[in-house]
Amino acid sequence: ALACSRDDHFSKMQVCSQRGVIGLGLTRKGCPAPVKPIRPARRAINVVACSADKQDTRIFRRTVADSAFWERHRTEDRYTKNLLSMIQSRIIMNLYRPLSWVLSVAVVVGLYETARDQGTLDPNIFPEFLLANPQPQMLTSFAVSLLLSARTSQSYDRWWEARKVWGGILNRVRDVTTQCAVFFPEDQQLLRQACGRWTIAFTRALHAHLQDNVDVKGHLRDVLSASEMEMLLNSQHRVVKSLSVLAEVIKQAPMNPLQQQMMMTNVQFFYDALGMCERIYRTPMPLVYTRHTSRFLMIWLTTLPFGLWTQFHWATIPICLLVGSLLLGIDEIGVQIEEPFGVLPLDAICTRAELDARQVLNESGLASEYAETLVIGEQKHSNGLNGAKQPWEVATKVGASR
């Protein structure tokens, strides 16, 4: 693998880092002679450059729900509000090109048929292109619904799986930091704090690994020291580096083997979560399915005006526009959530993990003192009884006599 800068996501497979690379015939002394970039890389760069504005709208879909959100979500006038805000929908705004095509075809069909009917165009020279029987569209509409239904269903499964993975990461972060506070001896404060810092660093590194334009250095400026930051940023795979350091910190901490095994189980879960996230991120749905769905849908919408004009005339234009926006919107939703990490609130999850980890580690002393006072109080209470019957023992005897 090339040791490249993570920030340059699309050029990392084509350029060398200043640190040099290992393997594939490359050396640390410099980069080899320039080679032609592979075609998929160029196409990926062009696609991203052309759709930057569209990708920027994904940040508005990173919803974090609270009580106020659910109250608005369940309101009775949600149907009216959502209908009136349809024009402002970012999903619809992202479809202006295909909707413009559908609208243009409907307008051309209307102008053409009107000109034929009025004699502007000689019917003997210009043939009629309208469908005499709309049965083909009626038969294929069922196939369109099946394709869109399968598309959104599979995309939602990917989105929900990604959300469950990050929910597990948040839980395990809390678990690891609690184990650091409890299992690590009181005289190992440096190791305890290092364990918490690298656990936080793991979440931020994974966040940057899955989303572009994430400032890892800015997020971890108040978490890692300068030497730790340099070690993380100069690593080839920052997520793996943070986990390897975390595992080494756990290994060096003096604790019994059972406690160490419990903590290493959480580290293993972090590795599994990384693998699951990379599997979802690196493996889209089969491209043949996505392309065929898009082609099928656009052909169906293109032929729609030819089947509706005879019955609806100029009303065909708004009908085609409405039907096209609804069907294309369903397909667009499936495409947007197919890559779920761009629409999941990963920054909010990482922030929540960092706050919880800091709280557990900073308040571990208070929790320990509280537990010790309970033990001391229990001992004093037991010594003060001098062999007197406990309340539960008296209650047991009374119950038995009854």
Q: Distance between CA 39 and CA 379 in Å, rounded? A: 75
**C-beta separation of 182 from 321 below 8 A:** no
Nearest to 269 by CA among 158, 159, 200, 176: 176
Nearest to 169 by CA among 245, 270, 247: 270
Nearest to 35 by CA among 16, 48, 10: 16
Q: Distance between CA 347 and CA 267 in Å, rounded? A: 21
**C-beta separation of 40 from 2 below 8 A:** no
pLDDT at site 53: 52
pLDDT at site 245: 95
pLDDT at site 13: 33
Which tokens sit at 300?
Answer: 């169906």
pLDDT at site 281: 94
Nearest to 326 by CA among 207, 152, 200, 172: 152
pLDDT at site 397: 47
Q: What is the mean pLDDT of each run of 10 residues along the chain (402 residues)?
A: 36 35 33 39 39 56 76 83 83 89 94 89 85 82 90 94 96 94 88 93 95 90 91 93 94 90 94 96 92 94 92 93 93 92 92 92 75 72 57 47 50
Q: Distance between CA 159 and CA 309 in Å, rounded? A: 40
pLDDT at site 124: 84
pTM for the full predicted model = 0.74
Locate tokens 């002394």: which residue? 29
Contacts of 323 (CB under 8 A, 6+ apart): 301, 304
Terminal alpha carbon distance of the chain: 78
Contacts of 162 (CB under 8 A, 6+ apart): 277, 280, 340, 341, 344
Query: Rounded to an integer, what is the distance from CA 349 to the centroid of its chain?
Result: 11
pLDDT at site 374: 75
